[in-house]
Structures are given as C-alpha cells and as structure tokens.
Structure 1
Amino acid sequence: MSAPILARIGLQAFKRYKALGSGAATFGKNFYKGGFESRMNRREAALILQLSERSVTKQNIRKRHREMMLLNHPDRGGSPYLAGKINEAKEVLEKHG
C-alpha cells in the first residue's frame, strides 16, 4: 500500500476513535449496574437471559437458555456459578413467566 492510502486509513480510524470518546469514560455504560439479588426475581432473570420483560415467552426462554449455556457450560470451560445463574433464571421465568 502506498503512504497516502495508509495515512487516510489511519486518519479515518483516529476520527472513529475520537467520536467514541475515551474508553475509560464509556466502558460499561451499556451494562447493568448492580450485582445479583439474594433471591432472583423476574426482572433479574430476564436480564441474565438478555430478554426484555415483554419478550418473555416459553420459546424465547428456552432459546436464550440454550444459547447462553452453549457459551457458558462448565464442561466447555465456562463458570459453574454463571451456569447456575442461567439455569436459575430459566426456572424463575418458566415458573413466573
């Protein structure tokens, strides 16, 4: 590649970086602020399975549970704690959903 093309690519990347703001200031803004409740409620269960409270259906619960467990199953290197929370979220939503 020629120098002008590389310079243009670098300038475009820098402009995108500046438009995003500083990484430390924007990091984590889209994530839920707070820990787990001592007893899981419907809202927390929906957050864990990344479902809006309006989109909670048996089909969506099972689909999201399966997707989350494929990513976080302890037999595949995932956390047993997170797998437990994912299973608990499914149970709460199926019972109260």
Structure 2
Amino acid sequence: MPENLFLLVSAYLIYKSGYTVSRTKRYINQATPFLAGVAIAAAALAGKYGIQAWHSFKTRPPRPRRFYDGGFQPKMTRREAALILGIREHATAEKVKEAHRKVMVANHPDAGGSHYLASKINEAKDVMLRKTKGSESAF
C-alpha cells in the first residue's frame, strides 16, 4: 500500500511539475519524508487501536460454559451421576449431599421442576453414595 501511494503521489507531482527532471526530483525528494511521516502516523494509529482492542478483549467476561450434549444412559454410571450433580466422581458424601440439595431445590417438582429430572437427580445421589441396588431408572 505505501508503495502504491508513493507512486501515485510521485506521478501527481511529476504531472504538476511540468515534466522537468530537476523539478520532478525535487518534488520526489520532498514527498519521501512526507510519505514516511504518513506511514509512521498510520502505524501509531493502528498500534493505538490494537492496544485498545487487546484491553477490551482481556477485560470481557468469560464465555458461559456449554451444557452437556447428550441424554441419559440406560444405567447410570458414577461419571454420569457426577455430571448431573456437578461434582467430581470421587467427592465426599458431604459434598454429594450438598450438591444434591442445590440441584434438587432448582429442579423440584413442587417448584415447577420435572418429575423425571427429580428422579434422575435422586438416582445420581444414590449412585454417588453407593446406595443403588443395580436397578435402572423408573422411566
């Protein structure tokens, strides 16, 4: 881009100078520092906006987490139970009960939640606390 601009300005100056070699050289010699200044100013402006964009990129809130894609498995595993409750697979019984309570409050059928989800949440708690008899979901 700067080369094209330099050629355009040079051609314009040659045209305005009356096509004499001495005037053309003088105008080209005068145009070179001007074009260098324009290039420096453009680089500074691009740097300024680049820094502003970087700061706004770093201060934006994090992207929301994606939800688990897929349905329930026929027989619930510890991994699936941990995903439902939002805890690690090897969480303590206290953490399992606390997570079960939080998820159940948000999805309880009496508060407008689904009976199916409530049964899956209870099944997840049982699997994590190892209280299951190996049965599958009632649904």
Write the distance in 2 (CA, Å) between the matches of 1:76 and 1:51.
23
Q: Which runs of 5+ in 1 are unaligned?
A: 1-14, 21-25
In the alignment, is residue 73 of structure 1 matched against residue 135 of structure 2?
Answer: no
In the alignment, is residue 48 of structure 1 matched against residue 84 of structure 2?
Answer: yes
Write the distance in 2 (CA, Å) between the matches of 1:34 and 1:76.
25
In the alignment, is residue 33 of structure 1 matched against residue 69 of structure 2?
Answer: yes
Write the distance in 2 (CA, Å) between the matches of 1:82 and 1:60.
20
Structure 2 counterpart of 1:80, one-letter code: H
Whose radius of gyration is greater, 1 or 2?
2
Q: Of 97, 100, 117, which residue of structure 2 is paired with 1:62? A: 97
Q: Of 68, 92, 96, which residue of structure 1 is paired with 2:127? A: 92
Query: Once the two structures are aligned, what percentage of the paired residues are identical?
Result: 49
Superposed structure 1 runs of 4+ greater than 2 Å apart? none
In the alignment, is residue 83 of structure 1 matched against residue 118 of structure 2?
Answer: yes
Asked which structure has the greater RCO (Cα within 8 Å, sep 6+), the reply is 1
Structure 1 counterpart of 2:87, one-letter code: L
Structure 2 counterpart of 1:34, one-letter code: G
